[in-house]
Structure 1
């Protein structure tokens, strides 16, 4: 694996990371509800999810997501349901916080868990790995290269999402912010929209 390949992958990875998606929305929600520690817990969950996808690519299992239609559909369905669950749950939290004017003590472990599952149940991430990795390494003969590039993508995504979390914290300094409830509802609705998009996603 050459430096040029790593640099090219990092550039594409950065472009993917700065494109707003479900991970952005989840980090923003977690930061608004639970402060900076909530945002970083969401980022950790997202990174672990990416690493697990890299492990699947390392083991050569990610390709089955693309080759077995039933598995692909099952992952899409589970991922969409989980996105809707997170969206509705966070709208519910926002309603409680707006009435109590205080933070809800959501355990960091719960935030990390939701972040992992939201990422792991998204077959689009597996397809991204399948499509990108062969452009930079020989996956069949360089399995550890898949782990390395997957880890690099997790790192880049975490750096970008850390900036998103810090910016969110600077805007929503407390739950009395008049835009808090509006953005909480909006982010929950956006997650539900991403769920519909995930159901409509097809690799063919």
Structure 2
């Protein structure tokens, strides 16, 4: 059931930088290694609703209903723009702070969770992606999709953790330079804004 093709394809998809990777890397850079693990956990947990929606067929609602898709899409875009704004102003938990190691774990996890749960394309992705690796003759396709989805989530978590830890290894060098740290914060802020705008302008997949 879990083929090499599925593992390789999933790994490539997980490795591609997106909002989750961006958030985890930023957390590793500007907060701590521990916080980046929580960020990875939050982003991974944010996959659960989309996975369940896909396996239960609820993703079809996003595919068929323009209103449902638009509502979730704009909520996600607004949230990404909000993250961009607070990072630009250096007033969010992602900002450099000597006491940042004490950042609230629930807060870090919640932000990562919201980033993924407010992306309607994620559930549509699972609906289109997972069935490709399930044979038509399988008697319990729902169970198979949940297992494959679980494996995808584990890969997501471990890859994001690696991203976060690697980012944290450069944090002291970056924090040591105010100009560099400020420039990188603005880069992340701009990236969140760009992804928010991209999501807002995205269309349903027909």
**2:198 match:** 197
TM-score (norm 1): 0.88
- State whether structure 2 residue 22 is matched by structure 1 residue 25: yes
Q: What's the CA shift string for 1:4-32, capped at 9, x where partnerless?
A: xx322221111111111111110112112
**Offset of residue 173 of structure 1:** 2.1
Unaligned residue ranges in structure 1 (runs of 5+): none
State the distance in 1 between where 2:76 and 2:165 align: 27
Q: How is 1:34-183 mapped onto 2 (pairs within 5 angstroms)?
A: 34-93=31-90, 102-104=98-100, 105-137=102-134, 141-173=140-172, 175-178=175-178, 179-183=180-184
Cα distance change, pair 180–92 in 1 and its aligned pair in 2 (3 A): same
State the distance in 2 between where 1:53 and 1:95 align: 27
State the distance in 1 between where 2:197 and 2:141 align: 36
Q: How many residues align?
A: 199
Unaligned residue ranges in structure 2 (runs of 5+): none
State the distance in 2 between where 1:35 and 1:134 align: 38
2:73–2:199 Cα contact (<8 Å) kept: yes
Cα distance change, pair 119–95 in 1 and its aligned pair in 2 (3 A): closer
RMSD, matched Cα: 2.2
**1:9 match:** 6
TM-score (norm 2): 0.87
Cα distance change, pair 8–32 in 1 and its aligned pair in 2 (3 A): same
